Amino acid sequence: MYLKYLSIAILLIGSDVLAGEVVAVPSAWHNSHYGACYRLLETGMSDIYGPGFSQDENILQLRRQIGSPKFVIATDITSGTNAQKTVFEQRTSTEWCVVLTSPPVAALVSGTVSPTLRRPVTWTTVTQVPPGYQETKVLYKWNARQLIYTPVRCYRGEEGRWQKFNCNEAYQP
């Protein structure tokens, strides 16, 4: 009996993933690493992109400071034009958290920085599609309670002619 509890304690203490709140996001974002925090950025990258990510020339890391937080925008460009994007935020010297993750998209752009929050209030993603198909555009907004950027508005269409739709229907095959 005691061994069972000891095993759980060892797993919790030895784990590189820090406990976080479960976040309700639309279905396209389920099974992502949203809200996960890691003691090391490398551990988070390995968890998301696999243990060989550092030798994979298709896994890119862009370090940016936008407002006060330091971000790393990770991208897997293996698929070509549209690529999965993951935004890590450094909260302390030993805590990197996934604050935004997107299904494969062509562009990820941060919005204006709030003077009070000292961070981007929004991020926007847009897919690139073949002629004759509609692009998907998603607006993510900072959620101070959950400490992540959550998808709040989804659009289909093209530049200048966007139509809003339910984010639960985003990226459905």
Give mean pLDDT in consecutive 10-residue pieces for the chain, a chain of 173 residues.
34 36 56 88 95 93 93 90 90 94 90 93 92 91 93 90 89 67
Instruction: Supply the pLDDT for residue 82.
Output: 81
Query: Which residue range is the domain that position 76 belongs to?
Result: 2-169
The structure tokens listed for 33 are 């690493």
| Residue in the structure block whose two tokens are 């009070």 | 116
Let me know: does 151 contact 26? Beta carbons within 8 Å.
yes
Instruction: Supply the pLDDT for residue 24.
Output: 56
Instruction: Supply the pLDDT for residue 170.
Output: 79
Domain count, the chain: 1
Q: Which of 141, 42, 130 is nearest to 94 (CA)?
A: 42
Instruction: Supply the pLDDT for residue 129.
Output: 86
Instruction: Supply the pLDDT for residue 79.
Output: 80
